[in-house]
């Protein structure tokens, strides 16, 4: 298996001037896909309210884990910009959100999960190509994202119910020999 130093040497030899900021936005593609599929009425495991709660819990756990490790390890980035390289937060969040996408739509189509994890892997690859992270930063970040989401799904109690809005109407009812009002209520 290639070492972090070898991956950086390969990057420096073949992509010395590579720079993109696409990875800053691609992180959120799996999360956006969840809500886009909801809008398209693709059946998911949870309703949008619970999905949002799951995203919030996953984000909080991933954030706490990643930044706790960053401040404990203080590993220098390959480009020397700061000492918060380990683990990759971009990769952690990309894989966390890809795992939510997978958990919500795995029964519908395998390609949905493949697309989410491909976007997450692309984020990790771009972090290496941008010389922002070592290989171990990206691999551990991916693991943290996946495990955080799996833990959140295992502990989520689904106590939050998505309630359809109740509607009432008071309508006039007029016939040949009567008149009155009809109350209609949707529960």
**Residue 43 is encoded by which pair of tokens?**
């059946």
Query: Count of CB atoms within 10 A of residue 16's CB?
Result: 8
Q: Is the pLDDT of residue 29 over 70?
A: yes
Q: How does 91-102 read in b/e, with b if 16+ C-beta sit within 10 Å?
A: bbbbbbbbbbbb
> Residue range 79-86: average pLDDT?
94
Mean pLDDT value of segment 140-160 = 91
| CB contact set of 102 (below 8 Å; sequence gap of 6+) | 112, 113, 116, 117
Residue 53 reports pLDDT greater than 80: yes
Average pLDDT over residues 180-184: 66
Residue 162 has pLDDT above 60, yes or no: no
What was the pLDDT predicted at 1?
73
The pLDDT of residue 33 is 98
C-beta separation of 137 from 70 below 8 A: no
pLDDT at 165 over 80: no
Separation CA 89–CA 160 (nearest Å): 29
Handedness of CA 98, 114, 17, 74 (dihedral sign): positive
């Amino acid at each position: 298996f290639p070492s972090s130093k070898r991956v950086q040497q390969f990057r420096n030899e073949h992509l010395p001037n590579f720079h993109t900021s696409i990875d800053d936005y691609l992180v959120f593609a799996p999360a956006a896909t969840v809500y886009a599929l909801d809008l398209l009425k693709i059946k998911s495991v949870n309703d949008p309210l619970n999905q949002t709660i799951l995203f919030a819990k996953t984000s909080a756990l991933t954030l706490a884990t990643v930044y706790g490790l960053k401040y404990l390890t203080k590993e220098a980035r390959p480009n020397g910009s700061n000492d918060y390289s380990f683990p990759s937060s971009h990769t952690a969040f990309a894989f966390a959100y890809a795992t939510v996408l997978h958990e919500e739509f795995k029964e519908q189509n395998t390609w949905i999960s493949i697309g989410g994890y491909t976007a997450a892997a692309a984020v990790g690859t771009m972090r290496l190509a941008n010389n922002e992270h070592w290989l171990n930063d990206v691999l551990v970040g991916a693991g943290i994202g996946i495990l955080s989401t799996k833990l959140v799904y295992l502990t989520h109690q689904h106590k939050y119910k998505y309630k359809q809005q109740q509607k009432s109407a008071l309508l006039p009812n007029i016939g040949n020999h009567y008149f009155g009002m009809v109350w209609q209520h949707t529960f």
